Amino acid sequence: MNNKSVITSTVGYMCLALTSWMLSMSNAGWFDQVQGHGTAMMFPLAVVLVVIGILAFVADSTLDAVIFFGGAGLFWSGHEFLLRTSTPGGAMEPPHYAGWYWFIWAVYFCYVWFGSFKAGIERFLFLLASWLTLLALALGGWTETHGFVVLGGYLGLATAILAAITSAHTVIAHGFQKPSTHSA
């Protein structure tokens, strides 16, 4: 892993960890809704994930690029939804429609998970937890069973911890190396 990959992985997974944690607390029932700071961080960190995804792609970290682009799409669209529904007159959607939203993202992260089998245990577990989180939220929407939403919330918190571990492992295991200076 080169220095550019270390930087992109560390920053990208920390963006995923921070945003996932702030959003999952409400699904887990710790708060009745996503609070202002959670909503406020979704858009800027989604933009950071787009930039980091491009940098990961350029550094030939294609799995990370796909993960970061997916996270950016998920958080950016979630931010837009929260903004639209938080304004007066903002219409909520039927829970079963939201279930389909969560399901398509679960499918996306599931097939990315299939591509992670050789990428190390951290990424493997992060992606497994990601798609299971989204699947639980989809089931909660389809069945209107609050227990699935709470399960999705706690899985989301675990996913955030796994993203933070992946971020930390990348920088701790590979570190940053100073450019070598050769004297003639």
Identify the pLDDT of residue 138: 95
The pTM of the full predicted model, rounded to 2 decimals, is 0.86
Instruction: Specify if 181 maps to a domain.
Output: no
Q: How far is CA 78 from CA 57, 157, 158, 160, 170, in A?
A: 24, 17, 19, 16, 27
Identify the pLDDT of residue 143: 93
Contact between residue 12 and residue 68 where contact means Cβ atoms under 8 Å apart:
yes
Instruction: Specify if 123 maps to a domain.
Output: yes
Place of tokens 């799995």: 63
Q: At what angle do helices 36-58 and 3-27 cross, to 10 degrees?
A: 150
Buried b (16+ CB within 10 A) or exposed e, 33-72: ebeeebbebbbebbebbbebbebbbebebebbbbbbbbbb
Q: At what angle do helices 36-58 and 62-86 cross, to 10 degrees?
A: 160
Identify the pLDDT of residue 95: 82
Instruction: Specify if 179 maps to a domain.
Output: no
Instruction: Specify if 180 maps to a domain.
Output: no
Identify the pLDDT of residue 5: 66
CA pair distance 168, 105, nearest whole angstrom: 25
CA pair distance 156, 34, nearest whole angstrom: 13
The DSSP annotation for 65-119 comes to: HHHHHHHHHHHHHHHHHHHHHHSTTPPP--HHHHHHHHHHHHHHHHHHHHTTTTS
Sign of the alpha-carbon torsion through 106, 93, 30, 79: positive
CA pair distance 41, 49, nearest whole angstrom: 12
Instruction: Specify if 182 maps to a domain.
Output: no
Instruction: Specify if 134 maps to a domain.
Output: yes
Q: Which domain holds residue 37?
A: 3-174
Q: How many domains does the chain have?
A: 1
User: Over the chain (184 residues), what is each successive 10-residue block's mean pLDDT?
Assistant: 71 93 92 84 91 90 92 90 74 83 95 91 94 96 92 95 91 64 50
Identify the pLDDT of residue 184: 46
Instruction: Specify if 29 maps to a domain.
Output: yes
Instruction: Specify if 146 maps to a domain.
Output: yes
